[in-house]
């Protein structure tokens, strides 16, 4: 049985799908993931996959290009060989556009979670309760499709990661990851820098991580007290840095989920623009900070709609350091 599993959005979403992928791989002969360009690097870190197909879905990507017949035709040709397809989605996404393309490709069995009437597009139309972790939402679909959930539902990444000793200097450090893909989810940079200084003053060795587009931010946050690795790690190296840390401080962003997949506790500075019950890091000790009842709650805003960004600016560096110390003490 050849199964196509689908998660079309971002790094963190793909990472959270790993237990569902593992459930399918336990009973399938071949498992291939269809993912978008923003999640591809994470898909390459998942154990249990036999291949990855990359395709940008214009109804999922936040900055989509035009819909082109050639791209759609190429996807249809690429997926024709599969016996089953499982389309993983969040509560605000629909599996039906992709299910239509899969029908055109001739995939004989398609499953997805859908509140909307699917007609003949889905063989399995699963319904799911609200406000459960994304990982468990995807496992609910695999279980309904005949692929039972594994006993351990913490997302995993592959075991062989690069040796990053030359970057970090060995174990015994904490990580601060100040960047987020969505500005509304970012803790103020001044607070990040203050936290780095406080951690260093408390005797912690602090590593600051970030994307190559965040070098200015990481340099500011690291200051003279932290080790600035901004732009110096691709995703496998970043995974290794996070795996070696005692704990990680991050917002609601892909590296927070990567930390959890590496088994590292997370201080999660979580803006309530999306529900923490769904998207907080899963499967490791987590200290959730941020006003979850703030006016921006459930707005899915990309830019903070409230002056002063109070949901996260109200969190002090002292609170973050105390939360990290407690996680490490556990």
Q: What band does 213 get if pLDDT is binned at 50, 70 and 90?
A: very high
**Total domain count, the chain:** 2
Does residue 199 lie within any of the structural domains? yes
Q: Which domain holds residue 104?
A: 2-144
- The pLDDT > 70 percentage for the chain reads 100
pTM of the model: 0.93
- The pLDDT > 90 percentage for the chain reads 82
Does residue 106 lie within any of the structural domains? yes
Question: 77 and 11 share a domain?
Answer: yes
Question: 135 and 174 share a domain?
Answer: no
Question: 6 and 37 share a domain?
Answer: yes
Q: What band does 83 get if pLDDT is binned at 50, 70 and 90?
A: very high
Mean pLDDT of the chain: 94
Structural contact between residues 291 and 270, judged by C-beta atoms closer than 8 angstroms: no
Question: 316 and 173 share a domain?
Answer: yes
Q: How far apart are CA 240 and CA 184, in angstroms?
A: 27
Does residue 157 lie within any of the structural domains? no
Domain boundary among the residues 79, 111, 144 is at 144
Question: 16 and 93 share a domain?
Answer: yes
Does residue 152 lie within any of the structural domains? no
């Amino acid at each position: 049985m050849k199964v196509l599993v689908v998660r079309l959005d971002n790094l963190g979403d793909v990472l959270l799908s790993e237990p569902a992928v593992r459930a399918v791989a336990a009973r399938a002969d071949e498992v291939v993931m269809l993912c978008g360009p923003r999640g591809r690097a994470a898909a390459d870190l998942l154990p249990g996959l036999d291949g990855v197909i990359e395709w940008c879905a214009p109804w999922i990507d936040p900055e989509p290009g035009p819909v082109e017949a050639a791209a759609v035709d190429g996807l249809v040709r690429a997926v024709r060989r599969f016996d089953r397809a499982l389309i993983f989605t969040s509560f605000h996404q629909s599996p039906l556009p992709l299910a239509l393309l899969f029908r055109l490709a001739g995939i004989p069995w398609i499953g997805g979670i859908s509140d909307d009437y699917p007609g003949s597009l889905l063989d399995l139309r699963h319904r799911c309760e609200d406000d459960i972790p994304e990982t468990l939402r995807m496992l609910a679909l695999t279980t309904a499709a005949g692929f039972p959930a594994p006993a351990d539902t913490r997302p995993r990444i592959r075991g062989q990661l690069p040796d990053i000793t030359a970057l970090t200097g060995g174990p015994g450090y904490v990580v601060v990851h100040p960047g987020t893909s969505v500005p509304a989810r970012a803790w103020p940079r001044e607070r990040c820098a203050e936290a780095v200084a406080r951690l260093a003053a408390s005797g912690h060795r602090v590593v600051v991580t970030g994307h190559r587009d965040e070098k200015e931010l990481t340099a500011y946050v690291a200051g003279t007290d932290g080790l600035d690795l901004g732009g110096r790690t691709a995703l496998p190296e970043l995974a290794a840095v996070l795996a070696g840390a005692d704990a990680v401080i991050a917002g609601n962003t892909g590296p927070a989920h990567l930390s959890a997949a590496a088994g590292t506790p997370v201080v999660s500075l979580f803006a309530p623009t999306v529900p923490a019950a769904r998207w907080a890091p899963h499967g490791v000790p987590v200290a959730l900070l941020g006003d979850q009842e703030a006016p921006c709650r459930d707005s899915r805003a990309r830019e903070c709609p409230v002056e002063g960004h109070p949901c996260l600016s109200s969190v002090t560096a002292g609170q973050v350091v105390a939360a990290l110390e407690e996680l490490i003490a556990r």
